[in-house]
Structure 1
């Protein structure tokens, strides 16, 4: 697999994403459903944004690994949140997670009216190898 990041500007670098990602010679592609702060028993979290952000990233990582892929293969990562104001103070958790795996993904961040039950943040990924 070969990837190329397209960034006509530099400002997106501080926000931990790329404007576009081109992928060639892909062996396979994994499309992940939105991963949120739901425990192994299917119970949605009632915790604060920081706790939900951490669990949602852990769940995304688990799905990707159990499918036989690696997080560094994420090429698209959409973020849905019920409050960008609550998310921003903890955005470094997301950025550190991205840096940990060397991910250079295209991203869209959307504030939505609500997510399932009590959830505050959800990640939807496309992963290649």
Structure 2
């Protein structure tokens, strides 16, 4: 059989969770991906408006806009949010983020995302930004 006629292997994703407590926090300890068709590395997406201006709104508004921007970039590349396997969250104020963490969890649930996650508080982000999402997406 010629090489080009062979059936392509399908992507497999395996979730590794030695414990159960992370399930309430909407992430996994590790995600293994075998045979991906493609991998997309998304730069940090923050609350930047379509005209390039940084939002000076509150944390809740910035989370919503940043997630919308993340979804837009992923879709423009021909991927889907459910393919996110790694999500890094940067924030300038964890204490401001926590009351709105359900927005992130709802977005993850809505898209069926099963990802490994890291959350880091940083001294600052660009201009007036309070939160930024960086992702690795597979298909």
Using the size of structure 1 for normalisation, the TM-score is 0.99
92, 108, 113: which one aligns with 1:103: 113
**Aligned-residue offset at 1:54:** 0.2
**Aligned-residue offset at 1:17:** 0.2
Structure 1 runs (4+) deviating above 6 angstroms are none
Distance 2:125 2:89 in 1: 12
Helix, strand or coil: the match of 1:41?
Answer: coil
The within-5 A match list for 1:58-97 is: 58-97=68-107
- Unpaired runs of 5+ residues, structure 1, are none
Helix, strand or coil: the match of 1:54?
Answer: helix
Cα shift readout 1:25-75 (whole Å, capped 9, x = no counterpart): 101000000000000100000000000000000000000000000000000
* Aligned-residue CA RMSD (Å): 0.3
Helix, strand or coil: the match of 2:125?
Answer: coil
**Aligned-residue offset at 1:95:** 0.2
Whether 2:58 is the aligned partner of 1:29: answer: no
Whether 2:125 is the aligned partner of 1:115: answer: yes
Using the size of structure 2 for normalisation, the TM-score is 0.92
Q: Which has the larger radius of gyration?
A: 2
Distance 1:88 1:127 in 2: 25
Distance 2:34 2:110 in 1: 24
- Unpaired runs of 5+ residues, structure 2, are 1-10
Distance 2:15 2:130 in 1: 30
